[in-house]
Chains A and B, each alone.
Chain A
Amino acid sequence: MSSEYLLTLIVFLPALWALPLLAFDGKAADAIRYFGLLGTALTFGLTLQLLMQYDLTPAPEQLHNGMQFYFSVPWIENWNVNYSLGVDGISLPLVLLTGLVSLLAMIASWSIEKHLKGYVILFLILETGMLGVFLSLDFFLFYVFWEVMLLPMYFLIGVWGGPRREYAAIKFFLYTLAGGVLMLIAMLMLYFSSGNSFDLLHLAEVGQGLGKGFAFSKEFQITAFLLLFIGFAIKLPSFPFHTWLPDAHVEAPTPISMILAGVLLKMGGYGIIRIAFPICPLGAQYCAYGMVALGVFSIIYGAFAALAQTDFKRLVAYSSVSHMGYVLLGLAVWKVGEKAGDPNLHYWRMGVNAAMFQMIAHGISSTGMFFVVGILYDRVHHRDLNKFGGIAGLMPHYTGLAAGIFFAGLGLPGLCGFIGEIFSVLSCWSFDKTLAIIAASGVILTAGYILWTVQRVYFGPAYKGPHGEALVPLLGREQFVAYVLLFFAIGLGVFPNLLFQYMDPSVKTLVDNLDASVHPQIIETATTLVP
């Protein structure tokens, strides 16, 4: 399939799929469910097709600034806005992850009864928004998708959520919107100082001092970077912008929690690596230490906060804060050597790869953890950690699967969580030894809160909470979702190079370009044209 059609179809198939749903009778619940499932399954199939067609060793003429399947058509010509999509080793795994998590979340949505038609429609629109964010290469388009994704999410939490759903939905909405506004400011700054361009690839060239006739000064880059970074850090989420996450997760229905943790958080990391870093390398370099410190602090802080929780879902939410800290840590371990191509660069390359891997791994393990919590919640309708116990005896098969998924979150070798965590921590030593040691100490805390949770929920002689009679064995679809996630957790944990082989070439290009761009000899020659 030609690239234009394939990428466009991937992005818009879910939204188009939602159109016929309007004609469905709202009471035909199963028909709606199966139709929605088919839509997400087809989309996942298309992302797999993309994986098949993706060339691991592309010829130079196949590439457009490192992008495969790149194309661009004018959209709003007056403002120089283009509809441009493309994929590289950084976005490809995230696109696949989105396809997979959406499919699994749709299967997990079987227990949704309320306003089912509206739910599935919003769900599909949400998927379009997410895929659009990962595939667009035009800043305006990116922004549009970013905001498109926001509204369905607001309603999905606000209508189908738990008791405090309105509060959580508004908190989520306002937080993300605030981030979006900061991004908008940065976008306009960049637009007007780059000769009216929203093209991310062009902006990156300008930022890296290769723009013909345009360049961003250091101060300009720092300002733009900070605006972008805060916008993305809210999404990531990093301390101190994380408090929307526990509330949103606690109130959101299980499948939406899965999407939130599995895909939405990744947009923060993706934005940093795709937009903030390449366009503002000097700003990124300036803020590197702060970002690593923030990442390390998030790791420790999230782990401590998780240790204090009594709500199962809140605990998993805080574990996300901790795990996404590794992403920030790995992305930012950029230590500029005296000359371009310094050996330290390999460790940054390792860090960026690790951060990317951690995003995927967290997408698997955290999705799994929320799903596992959801299985219990569906049965007993509470999440109080002190009112569980004895699940291992009542639901042994479920407990085995849950233990596997929790161990993936704990970072046990052989499972996906380990690879991302360990490589990002390893890459940190060459950047800063103190921060590396603090980050490494996270392994103790992580083991602490996860094992303590497992003990309280699964072990012990008897179940201590209400509705004990509802603790029935896993249903077929629940088994399916859990096994698929566990399969990926083990597969990526044992053969991480399956993923690294896609990421590393793109990461290498990025790292080399950025490093070259901050070295003085290049910066001096660049003329500063910023107003």
Chain B
Amino acid sequence: MDTGTVLRNLLTLAWLLPLAGFVAEIYALQLRWSHRLSKAPAQLAVACIGAGFLCSLSALLYWGNETKWVGFAPVEHHTPAEGLDGGDTAPADALRPDATGGEPASEHHHQTPKFYAGTFYKLAQFGPLEITLDWYIDSLTLVMFTMVTFIATCIHLFAMGYMKDELTEEYEDHQVHLPGGHHFTRPGRFHRFFAFLSLFCFSMLGLVLAGNIFQVFIFWELVGVCSYLLIGFYVERHSASTAANKAFIMNRVGDFGFLIGLMILITSLGTFRFFDVTTADGAEQTGLFSLVRGDDGKLDISDDPSVTKSVVYLRDSHGHRLVDGTTPRTISYLLLIAAGLGVFAGSIGKSAQFPLQTWLPDAMEGPTPVSALVHSATMVAAGVYLAGRFYPMFPPEVLLGIAYIGCITLFVAATIAVVATDIKKVLAYSTISQLGYMMLGIGVGGWAAGLFHLVTHAFFKSLMFLASGSVIAGCHHEQDMRKMGGLRHKMPITAYTMLIGVIAIAGLAIPGVGNALFGQALAFSGYHSKDAIVASALAFSELNRNPLHNILFIVPLVTAGITAFYMFRLWFMTFAGQPQDEHVYEHAHENPAIMTAPLVILSLLAAGCAIGGEDGWLYCLLSFSETVPTVDRFTSERVASIVIPSHLDARDVHGTAGGLALLAAFAGTTVAYLLYCRKVVNPDDIRRQAGGVYDFLVDKWRFDTLYDVAFVRPCHIVASWCQGFDQKVLDVVLHASAAITIVVSKWERTFDEGMVDGLVNLIGNSTTNFGRSLRVVQTGRLRQYVMWIAVGVVVLFAALFTALPK
């Protein structure tokens, strides 16, 4: 078996195992292999996802071994001059086709193929338009698979402890109040929770494995529905089912854009595939990436200066322009931008970016393991993953849009996190903010930086969510930080693993200490990845002369400080200081090993996964999959003047950016320490001083109110209009015509009875009357008859004589 087939088999197994698990778990009680009080469904789920992790890890290692570990070490950085000559440089190889499903196609270059790809089966074919389920495996896929399955395994284990309340026939839901004043009770749903988690893992892995954009859309929606099921797990709670609906519908708003992107792609480019395939008759079906980027990773834009007339020539994998008869095949530049923005709209919904961010905080209604897995580490990062995967299709104008969306999001969310008091809400806003960082990184050309942050964030954020879950479980479902405090004495493991996460996300580091060992500052993962993003942003804003773009650097820098502030605020409020609520503190306890062990494991990874920074294995692995060359700058003058910086540009400013970011992080940490630990100033005073701003932030910038007024209510009004139109117009017209028919029939009856029948009757009657009047002469008296004869004869003769001519 060649490498591609092995990788495909391993990852397909990892992908399908959770699906099998789902079926078995959802029918655990019907099929009677388990019962309501048994942990067996959870064990099955852990077994499935754990086996999936082993498959993914072996795939990663197998791939590393087959490729002589080239992807794990830093590559020689080409000078820009080398990068330009295309041909045999590494980025060009990214677009080498892998025609026959797994055959390393660039063997003749004596280089490692960038990816392996192939087709599972065909969904539909309409002439040349073929829609299939494909697989596409590169180092990004492998890293995502390993990361997702690993974190999912940890979270499954944690959930076995966290959800144990459900192992009962009589689960009392304290958040649901029945009219009688007592709480709602129901049978536990332990097995169903794990079934949904398994289904989610299946969908998420399918999304990562997808080899075409249509397939991404399929699994995109499936993770959405899993998220819906998990947010609404406590179906009895109105707030939970409403949050679930909100999440799904907000995502569908983004998917509406995604759908428009798909329409443009299938109509203009005729394919959804990422990669090229050779059909049985030897013809090449060029995939999206080659069509748009050719073999050198560049857009082949026509020289037309007018933006509306600019077109991008479609090319095959050898860089030759494709022709349709004699005319070259092209896609209008504006349409390419529209397609990019459309697909990115999907990312906006899924990754809770501005302006669709409002669903994610509400999604915290789901159980905490769900928040950790779905709403921080994996699913919401899928939007970033898609932006990264689809990167070759984005012209610079779209990238600029992505950067600005990310920039707005990271700031808005961070400001709200500052005032949130629910421990999970703080983490939720922090997630939105960090996703904004990733988007920003991708938008300013730091492709690997953005995805690097995706992976590191997944580790430290799932860690922090689980730690918050541990706090919530330990404090008997208390989520308000104002009632906590001093918990580190009661729950030391939770507190200190959480601290690792907080340091990681804040981006704190000790410069100079680690240099001897790693060539980098001694720091946890978040420092490295955030550094890389901020450096790309600085390079971007320096290269682009437009002063407006400076905010793309300044805002994330300031927000780095805010991030450090609100994360330490969370930690200090929860774990440090004096207990604020005796009742909560009294009953708080550390959780059993099944919940703390995942915390410890994840904290190790949160601390160490990014070791070595941009020369470390993780960053190198990710940047190995880079599909668009970043060795030289990319300039676009079409819609706006945009320069996408190269790696070297980012490297040049790395020191400056890193230093400034570190300064901001320390500033934020210090302020949090002074306010919430030393209590130099009472935060309540500040709150009173800035009442308006505070309320505005507590109201989440009033997006919910705005959307309610601008969209939800108008929708219901239009709905009632439609309903009214049916009843008041269409049916009325119908009833009126029916009524008119009846009226006309009545007239006809009157006419029939009055006129037609009348006439007939008149004739009949007059005949009768005439006959009746004649009856009087029939007297039977002879004398009278004789007289009438005589009169008749006289009259006849008189007539005869008067009428006859003389």
Contact = CB atoms under 8 A, between A and B. Distances in A.
Interface of A: 171, 240, 242-243, 246, 301, 304-309, 343, 345-347, 349-350, 353, 390, 392-393, 397, 400, 407, 412-414, 418-419, 422-423, 425-426, 428-430, 436-437, 440-441, 443-445, 447-448, 451-452, 455, 458-462, 495-497, 500, 504, 508
Contacts of B726: 242-243, 246, 305
Given A304-B722, A426-B262, A460-B235, A443 B127 contact: no
Contacts of A349: 126-127
Contact of B267 (A308, A393, A430): A430
Contact of B720 (A240, A308, A413): A308
Nearest to A345: B127
Given A243-B734, A448-B249, A412 B225 contact: yes
Contact of A429 (B225, B264, B716, B718): B264
Interface of B: 26, 30, 121-129, 173, 176, 178, 184, 186, 217-219, 221-222, 225, 228, 232, 235-236, 238, 241-242, 244-245, 248-249, 252-253, 255-256, 259-260, 262-264, 266-267, 270, 324, 715-716, 718-723, 726, 730-731, 734
B740 to A, nearest CB: 14
Given A346-B128, A412-B225, A447-B249, A440 B722 contact: no
Contact of A443 (B122, B126, B186, B252): B252
A460 B252 contact: no
Contacts of B26: 400
Contacts of B217: 413
B266 to A, nearest CB: 5
Contact of A455 (B128, B176, B222, B245): B245
A390 B236 CA distance: 7
A347 B259 contact: no
A365 to B, nearest CB: 15
Given A459-B232, A459-B236, A437 B218 contact: no
B126 A353 contact: yes
A413 B221 contact: yes
Nearest to A301: B722
Contacts of B731: 243
Residue among B124, B173, B186 with the most chain A CB within 10 A?
A: B124
Nearest to A508: B127
Contacts of A500: 124-125
A166 B511 CA distance: 85
Contacts of A443: 252, 255-256, 259
Contacts of B260: 436-437, 440
Contacts of A426: 262-263, 266-267
A462 B177 CA distance: 10
B235 A440 contact: no
Given A240-B730, A426-B263, A440 B256 contact: yes
Nearest to A352: B126
A412 B221 contact: yes
17 contacts: A243-B734, A301-B722, A304-B715, A304-B722, A304-B723, A305-B726, A346-B126, A346-B128, A407-B225, A413-B217, A413-B218, A413-B222, A429-B267, A441-B256, A459-B241, A461-B178, A462-B178
A447 B238 CA distance: 18
Contacts of A242: 726
A497 B222 contact: no
Given A448-B249, A497-B124, 19 more contacts: A243-B730, A304-B721, A305-B722, A307-B715, A308-B723, A309-B723, A345-B127, A353-B126, A393-B186, A414-B218, A419-B124, A426-B263, A426-B266, A440-B260, A447-B249, A447-B252, A460-B236, A460-B238, A462-B178
Q: Which 5 A-B pairs have the closest CB atoms?
A: A429-B263, A308-B723, A307-B719, A308-B719, A413-B218
Residue among B178, B219, B267 with the most chain A CB within 10 A?
A: B267
Nearest to A456: B241
Nearest to B30: A397
A407 B222 CA distance: 11
A441 to B, nearest CB: 6
B222 A412 contact: yes
A508 B722 CA distance: 37
Residue among A309, A345, A346 with the most chain B CB within 10 A?
A: A346
A110 B223 CA distance: 39
Nearest to B723: A308
Nearest to A423: B124
A443 B248 CA distance: 11
Contacts of B722: 301, 304-305, 308
Contact of A304 (B232, B253, B324, B719): B719
B279 to A, nearest CB: 16
Contacts of B730: 240, 243
A425 B263 contact: yes
A451 B242 CA distance: 9
Contact of B259 (A440, A462, A495): A440
B124 A496 contact: yes
Contacts of B255: 443
B346 to A, nearest CB: 12
Contacts of B720: 308
Contacts of B225: 407, 412
A345 B126 CA distance: 10
A92 B489 CA distance: 72
Given A305-B723, A451-B248, A346 B184 contact: no
A459 B263 contact: no
Nearest to A429: B263
B19 to A, nearest CB: 11
Contacts of A452: 245
Residue among B26, B235, B249 with the most chain A CB within 10 A?
A: B235
B259 to A, nearest CB: 4
A445 B253 CA distance: 9
Nearest to A407: B225
A429 B236 CA distance: 42
A447 B252 CA distance: 8
A111 to B, nearest CB: 24
A459 B235 contact: yes
A307 B712 CA distance: 11
Contacts of A390: 236
Nearest to B126: A350
A461 B172 CA distance: 12
A408 to B, nearest CB: 12
Nearest to B712: A448
A444 B255 CA distance: 8
B263 A496 contact: no
Contacts of B218: 413-414, 418
A436 B263 contact: yes
Contact of A346 (B129, B222, B716): B129
Contacts of B264: 429
A497 B723 contact: no
A423 B242 CA distance: 30
Contacts of A301: 722
Contacts of B178: 461-462
B625 to A, nearest CB: 26
A309 B716 CA distance: 11
A345 B721 CA distance: 38
A353 B126 CA distance: 8
Contacts of B262: 422, 426
Nearest to B203: A414
B235 A392 contact: yes
A461 B259 contact: no
Given A412-B222, A496-B124, A458 B235 contact: yes
Residue among B176, B222, B241, B719 with the most chain A CB within 10 A?
A: B719
Contacts of A309: 723
A444 B263 contact: no
A461 B723 contact: no
A490 to B, nearest CB: 11
B447 to A, nearest CB: 28
Contact of A440 (B219, B263, B267, B270): B263
A418 B219 CA distance: 12
Nearest to B225: A412
